[in-house]
Amino acid sequence: MKLLLLIPLISFALSSCAQQPKTHPVMNNSNEQTIQLSEKEWKEKLSPEQYHVLREKGTERAFTGKYYMNKEKGVYVCGACGNELFTSEMKFDSHCGWPSFDREIAGGKIKTETDYSHGMIRTEIMCARCGSHLGHLFDDGPTETGQRYCVNSLSLDFKKDSTGTSVNK
């Protein structure tokens, strides 16, 4: 009898210890409101890997990101706040090891800043809503825009198109 009482208690204890998935602090797509959380709050909302890239301006290893070879139709959103940044039609394979886009969604979704780190001069791209680091912008893209938004997969989430069709690029 005592054993029967312990089974649900042990089951509850084990399930409450399981790591819960991280969720966006905000999931609307309005760019009107900026999000300002403390670094402690960001650490609670993001996985350690996401925190390193999005908040500490880290970089994931080339050719390892979840969205590097993604061919599905949909919208790429900020991994920290859900701000819509790029569509699958803007994505192209630049062979650089990270997801690449030739433009951003209109409306000031991304802000830029000169980055002098690592002995280079680059243009850093950040989410305009929450200020999270996304990657860098280069003027060497092969498409008609001539731009390459080189983005860490860890900086993104993907909202699949409801039709579920794939993009053949």
Distance CA 78, CA 126 (A): 9
81 catalytically annotated: no
Give the residue among 112, 88, 114 at the shortest CA–CA distance from 102. 88
C-alpha torsion angle, residues 26, 52, 141, 77 (rounded to 10): -20
* Contact assessment for residue 74 and residue 160, using Cβ atoms and an 8 Å cutoff: yes
Check 81, 127, 130, 150 and give the catalytic one: 150
Under DSSP, the state recorded for 5 is H
Q: Dihedrals φ, ψ of 100, to 5°?
A: -125, 140
Active-site annotation, residues: 150
